[in-house]
Amino acid sequence: MALSFLRLAFTALSLSLAFTCSEARSGSHSVLPRADAWSYVGCYSDNVGARTLTNNVATAGGEAALTIQLCQSTCQNLGYVLAGAEYSGECYCANNIFNGGGLASDGETGCNMPCNGNSSEICGGSARLSLYDLNNAIVSLPTLTTSSVPVPTFTGAPSGWVPLGCYNDSVNARTLTTQIYSIAGASMSVDACLSACILGGYRLSGVEYGSECYCDHEIENYGAPATGCNMACGGNSTQFCGGSGRMNLYNYTATSLPSTPTPTTTSATVPSATITDLPTGWTYKGCWVDRALGRGSILADNLPNDANMTVESCIQNCITAGYSIAGMEYYTQCYCDSAIINLGALASSDSQCNTPCGGNVNQMCGGGDRMSIYSNQTNLIVRQLPVIQNTSLPGNWKYKGCLTDDAVNRVFPYQIELANNNTATNFLSLCSQYGYGAGGMEYSNQCFCGDVQDVINHKAAIVDDSQCVMLCTGNRDTYCGGPSLITYYTWTGTPLNSWTFESGNSAGKYEFLIGGPIIPLTSAVGINGKISFLEKFGTSPANNSTGAYELDLTQINNYTAAWRPMHVKTDVFCSASIILPDRLGRQINIGGWALPSTIGVRFYTPDGAPGVPSKNDWEENYEEVGLQTGRWYPSAMVMANGSILVVGGEVGSNGAPVPSLEIIPRPPGGNVLYCVYLFRTDPYNLYPYLVVLPSGGIFIAYYNEARILDEVTLQTQRVLPNIPAAVNNFLGGRTYPMEGTAVLMPQSAPYTDPLVVMICGGSTPGPEIALDNCVSLAPEVPGANWTIERMPSKRVISSMVALPDGTFLILNVAQQGFAGFGLATDPNHNAVLYDPSKPLNSRMSSLANTTIDRLYHNEAVLLPDGRVLVTGSDPEDTRFVQEYLVEVFLPPYLLNGATQPTFKFSNGNDFGYGDTINIAATLYQGNPSTVRISLMAAVGATHGNSFGQRTYFPAFSCSGTAANMQCSITTPPNAHVYPPSWAMLFVLDSGTPSVGQWVRVGGDPARLGEWPNFPDFTLPGVGPTVGAGGVVNTVSGTAAAGNATMKI
């Protein structure tokens, strides 16, 4: 550590101590003359810009331990005859009195500060020196006048050196950054400093403050010519040695520097002071040159400075840290390592380690750029000079050069700190894993990921490799950049991402549909072909709605007919909706804003048809049917047995967690099941993703974790690998409030391929940068891990809609922030199509853009005609509007000019597992051999969670002609492959979908149609659907199924 830095730190400390002590003083201490050869001269004036004694010296223990005797002995050891203590902790030496210094005009009054190391003594004051002389030297000094002070006259330089003149300097930002401590202040001269710098391999040398010497390879920290170099050198009064904050600078211009000594350990001698307490096996290995030729330290681990350091304490600290080499430097600094690095070499003389240890002045603890080395190694390990790693790199990474960086405006967007394991191998593998094809390491422990385009955008330049010379924290044989310099690598193999940027009809398009009366929280397409919306009821900023509406798409040109007001009784803010598998396809909504809303269970039985007015409304009565515990932000799912699983949430708005599961309708003896993993991850686990697995069990993803639950006990069967987040932040999350969105990859007959879950987007803590990747996992496969696919842009609060051709539309969102009011910014207007049939990392296509910001409370659902309905944005801040406009997105399959095929059911719309669905269809483009058929399970959408979403491509066979095609479709085999559900069936003609029609598969095994059995609720009953021949008599309250009649 530089002496100047110590001076600054200790001055601050002594100032604090001085104030504390001065407040406690009740009187003053007399200054006692010394009994030995030193005598007290008096209280002298001083000036920080023109010192009376020009050499500020460091004493053992630092300023906090200063005593008069310690200052005197230090000055005497350095060859001075005058010693002065100032400001409680500062010690100054000289062989003359300079700059007009003399006895203070106020006598002893100003010398009033106790010594930090002995409060019974006075160590000067503010701009006052308690001055002592050795052997009465004061009487032989010249008269104390400015004219009698020797005036420097020499301004030249030794051979090979060119004087550059006077330069500015700062204790916090040195013009030359390496200070030489091996020259005593009283011996300082221009020649001595220049010689020390050239021996260290430096071409720039500077003298300052009469007694300080600095070296470097270049002028740093904006050093520039200045005036004020007016102080004589302590060892040669005919030469200028800078001034206060001023440096006489010299440049060595000869063609070569002296060679450094060859590394060897044979010439080490034992220090003069005997050290008897070394650990077994440890011996002295000599005085070594540190930081030669501007290289880094020869031992990498610099422990915290210790003012009381001894050889023994440093060695013990290194042993404790697991090292086999210990080095002491400049009395307080302890370094550790297991090898000598940076081509360390023995000093030409062991006497160069001449600084007493801070804790034992009888021991030597190195010196300026000199290190006393001890080790238990028989022969010291001395490493060769490190190199930039450009071989044995992972994958197809190649080194490109030493790249400039800017600490304020970084070249690459993602920074990682690897304090102990930063290497090209470790880090580059991480970059490519997350889809980044450019990156590098900086400042030993920093690493960055990004794209080549980032380098172009920032106009970063390649400089000489010699500037990237900071050792990697994970491999000290290699370099990891430098200050604001990156060892830069690029991926040269198959592109890590191959995105398509579509245009024209291939990009799809957004269209305005209609203005809306509400900003929906939940959206669901009913089996009546209409879309039901729920919004905040009572907490909406407008506060002018009924909380629920139904939209008839056939009445778009008639606003009043298009929007049917409906009603809820409690606030559905942040609830969950699903479509029930009962014979009338009721919609159920659970949870809400605050009690009693949070225990609310609401039902809507869709009626009417497109163009035919509906009459039914939402039904609820929390005193008759409700959740066992209140839930805000819960999830819900129909299980394989037809019951409803409800998971998680909080007790109310930003309230305590509700870390439990429950089943509705409540089974006999059924209570809530407490889950530690939900409690532990609150509040980042809200609206978790739930999936019935084909092999049995339930997949759940929450925050950045996932597991499989037993479907009977709901206990954990298997914990899955943590979900990756950002390349630079594994603490990012995927569920509310770091809201992403999840889907299931299409399932195709014969349903033997493992089911794959995919989650896209999310956010990170701290700066809340949205995630720019999707991750996928086959949870049933033992040992499976998450696969990362990078998206073309970042997304949080996203929506993802499964399309009937097996693709997925990703849309809406922000690029920074969390879900919540006013918590997101930088809207993402671009739609992306994900096609799982394409190769990994080539599945995403950038489509059309909207002009509307879709932030918090945006929703998107698939319409029966193949379009995607896009609604909402509820930021409730001043930056973005409350968005009531409704759009539709037309995927490319609707813009290719093709006519949509048509079909009708031949044997009803209600089927069991392994049943046959018969349809008659008409094609307009292809023929029966080019047909595909899909089943799209019913969805309730909110907050990026499409409850119930599943895509199926069932087995089928078709015959006939395009104009008269007959198809037999086999339904999925069981309730684990296909949980009981309504679904829209689509026929695809050369990729163009028909209008979807509703079909039920799996029935109502939990007999939800008989629940809740209260007079104020509509009961569908059980049995076949109306489309399969079942009849519901809502007037008499009976349900007919074929020839059987069942009492409701």
The verdict on 528 and 671 lying in the same domain is yes
Give the pTM.
0.71
The verdict on 546 and 646 lying in the same domain is yes
Pairwise CA distance, residues 299 & 440, whole Å: 24
| 201 phi, psi to nearest 5 deg | 90, 15
Q: What is the CATH number of the domain that holds 805?
A: 2.130.10.80
Decide if 260 is inside a domain.
no
| DSSP codes joined into one string, 18-60 | HHHHHHH-SS-PPPPPPSSSEEEEEEEE--TTS-SS-EEE--T
The verdict on 99 and 167 lying in the same domain is no
Decide if 919 is inside a domain.
yes
Q: Confidence class of residue 144 from pLDDT cuts 50, 70 and 90?
A: very low
The confidence score (pLDDT) of residue 768 equals 96
19 Cβ neighbours under 8 A, 6+ residues apart:
none
Pairwise CA distance, residues 820 & 796, whole Å: 11
The verdict on 766 and 802 lying in the same domain is yes
Among 1006, 1018, 1017, 1013, which residue's Cα sits nearest to residue 981? 1006
Q: Confidence class of residue 31 from pLDDT cuts 50, 70 and 90?
A: very low
Give the tens place of pLDDT for each residue, 490-511.
999 999 999 999 999 999 999 9
Q: Is pLDDT above 70 for 1046?
A: no
DSSP 3-state percent helix, strand, coil across the chain (nearest 5)? 10, 35, 50
Q: Is pLDDT above 90 for 36?
A: no
C-beta neighbour count of 126 within 10 angstroms: 14
The confidence score (pLDDT) of residue 73 equals 87
What are the CA-CA distances from residue 420 to residues 272, 444, 519, 657 (Å)?
37, 10, 50, 37
95 Cβ neighbours under 8 A, 6+ residues apart:
79, 80, 81, 82, 186, 234
Among 284, 264, 277, 271, which residue's Cα sits nearest to residue 376? 284
The confidence score (pLDDT) of residue 288 equals 95
Give the tens place of pLDDT for each residue, 812-829.
999 999 999 999 999 999
The confidence score (pLDDT) of residue 255 equals 66
Decide if 621 is inside a domain.
no
Give the tens place of pLDDT for each residue, 833-888.
999 999 999 999 999 999 999 999 999 999 999 999 999 999 999 999 999 999 99
Q: Is pLDDT above 70 for 703?
A: yes
The verdict on 128 and 171 lying in the same domain is no
Decide if 390 is inside a domain.
no
Give the tens place of pLDDT for each residue, 711-729.
999 999 999 999 999 999 9
Pairwise CA distance, residues 705 & 542, whole Å: 38
The verdict on 865 and 916 lying in the same domain is no
The verdict on 932 and 992 lying in the same domain is yes
Q: Is pLDDT above 50 for 15?
A: no
Tell me the mean pLDDT in the region 173-198: 85
Tell me the mean pLDDT in the region 255-267: 46
The verdict on 708 and 757 lying in the same domain is yes
From 199-213, 889-903, 988-1002, the region with the lowest mean pLDDT: 199-213
The verdict on 673 and 806 lying in the same domain is yes
Q: Confidence class of residue 25 from pLDDT cuts 50, 70 and 90?
A: very low
- CA dihedral over 40, 41, 44, 46, signed as positive or negative: negative
The verdict on 12 and 94 lying in the same domain is yes
C-beta neighbour count of 436 within 10 angstroms: 25
Instruction: Tell me the residue range of the domain where 971 lies.
Output: 902-1001
Place of tokens 């021991």: 363
The confidence score (pLDDT) of residue 534 equals 96
Q: Is pLDDT above 70 for 261?
A: no
The confidence score (pLDDT) of residue 176 equals 92
Decide if 274 is inside a domain.
no
The confidence score (pLDDT) of residue 99 equals 81
Asked if 479 contacts 471 with a C-beta cutoff of 8 angstroms, the reply is yes
Tell me the mean pLDDT in the region 254-282: 59
Residue ending a domain, among 148, 177, 203, is 148
Tell me the mean pLDDT in the region 427-442: 96
Decide if 59 is inside a domain.
yes
Q: How many helices (H) and strands (E) does the chain have?
A: 8, 76
Tell me which of 74 and 458 has the higher pLDDT: 458
Q: What is the CATH number of the domain that holds 942?
A: 2.60.40.10
Quote the mean pLDDT of the chain: 89
Q: Is pLDDT above 60 for 1028?
A: yes
Tell me the mean pLDDT in the region 890-918: 97
Pairwise CA distance, residues 306 & 314, whole Å: 9
C-beta neighbour count of 365 within 10 angstroms: 29
From 530-534, 550-554, 907-911, 925-929, the region with the lowest mean pLDDT: 925-929
Number of domains the chain contains: 7
User: Kindly report the CA angle at 228 between 225 and 233, in degrees rounded to 5?
Assistant: 105
The confidence score (pLDDT) of residue 641 equals 98
Two structure tokens written together for 635: 């999830």
The verdict on 855 and 876 lying in the same domain is yes
Q: Across-strand partners of 93?
A: 55, 83
Give the tens place of pLDDT for each residue, 371-423.
999 999 999 999 877 899 999 999 999 999 999 999 899 999 999 999 889 99
Residue ending a domain, among 491, 525, 546, is 491
Give the tens place of pLDDT for each residue, 539-590.
666 666 788 999 999 999 999 999 999 999 999 999 999 999 999 999 999 9
Percentage of the chain lying above the pLDDT 90 cut: 70
The confidence score (pLDDT) of residue 1032 equals 54
Burial class (CB in 10 A: 0-12, 13-18, 19+), 412: buried
Burial of 268-281, coded b for 16+ CB within 10 Å and e otherwise, reads beebeeebeeeeee
329 Cβ neighbours under 8 A, 6+ residues apart:
290, 335, 365, 366, 367, 369, 370, 371, 372
Return the SS3 of 581: coil
Decide if 618 is inside a domain.
no
Residue ending a domain, among 124, 148, 172, is 148
Decide if 383 is inside a domain.
no
Q: Across-strand partners of 769?
A: 816
Asked if 101 contacts 52 with a C-beta cutoff of 8 angstroms, the reply is yes
Burial class (CB in 10 A: 0-12, 13-18, 19+), 177: middle
Q: Is pLDDT above 50 for 91?
A: yes
| DSSP codes joined into one string, 885-911 | EEEEEE-GGGSSSPPPPEEEESS-SEE
Tell me the mean pLDDT in the region 231-236: 87
The confidence score (pLDDT) of residue 22 equals 32
Q: Confidence class of residue 94 from pLDDT cuts 50, 70 and 90?
A: confident
Q: Across-strand partners of 248?
A: 166, 207
The confidence score (pLDDT) of residue 272 equals 45
578 Cβ neighbours under 8 A, 6+ residues apart:
587, 588, 636, 637, 638, 644, 938, 940, 947, 948
C-beta neighbour count of 221 within 10 angstroms: 14
Tell me which of 223 and 914 has the higher pLDDT: 914
What are the CA-CA distances from residue 772 to residues 428, 435, 1035 (Å)?
18, 10, 54
The confidence score (pLDDT) of residue 187 equals 82
Pairwise CA distance, residues 464 & 385, whole Å: 17
The verdict on 404 and 333 lying in the same domain is no
Residue 66 Cα to chain centre, angstroms: 46
Q: Confidence class of residue 158 from pLDDT cuts 50, 70 and 90?
A: confident
Pairwise CA distance, residues 1010 & 1014, whole Å: 10
The confidence score (pLDDT) of residue 28 equals 35
From 225-239, 301-315, 514-528, 955-969, the region with the lowest mean pLDDT: 225-239
Tell me which of 224 and 19 has the higher pLDDT: 224
